[in-house]
Amino acid sequence: MQVTVPGPYQSWGDNENPYAEIMIEFGRQVEVEKAKILLRADFPHDNYWEKGTLLFSDGSFEYLHFTRTKEIQSFCFPKRVASWVKLKNLQKDNTDPSPFPALTQWEIWGKEYRQ
């Protein structure tokens, strides 16, 4: 599953809300094993998130550590079955004066779940 914000400068940001989160709902149980995240990188206008958490519908989670890059970042994790995934606990780089970290693209990789 993939969430892509259209256009070259469209994005989802936290609007300086420390509790901001975004969720992908699959509409069914799926087996997931990887996330790919592209942060908006219009530097020096943008900041970036250094850390975040993926929370899965089964209650498990993965901590993410981002780098300041214009490239998509991949995160592999043990396979799990989930009906949704949330990206939350986003912490921006406090050394950068810009208040504008944002997400441009977010992909969750996996396959249909077969019991």
Domains and their CATH numbers in the chain: 2-12+20-112 (2.60.120.260)
Q: What is the pTM of this model?
A: 0.88
The pLDDT value recorded for residue 115 is 84
The pLDDT value recorded for residue 4 is 54
Phi then psi dihedrals of residue 92, to 5 deg:
-80, 165
The pLDDT value recorded for residue 34 is 98
Q: Which amino acid is at 70?
A: K
The residue among 92, 108, 88 whose CA lies nearest residue 100 is 92
| Mean pLDDT by groups of 10 residues along the chain of 115 residues | 57 92 96 97 93 98 97 97 97 94 94 92
The pLDDT value recorded for residue 106 is 93
Cα separation of 70 and 26, whole Å? Answer: 27
Chain centroid to Cα 9, Å, comes to: 17
Residue partners of 114: CB distance under 8 A and separation at least 6: none
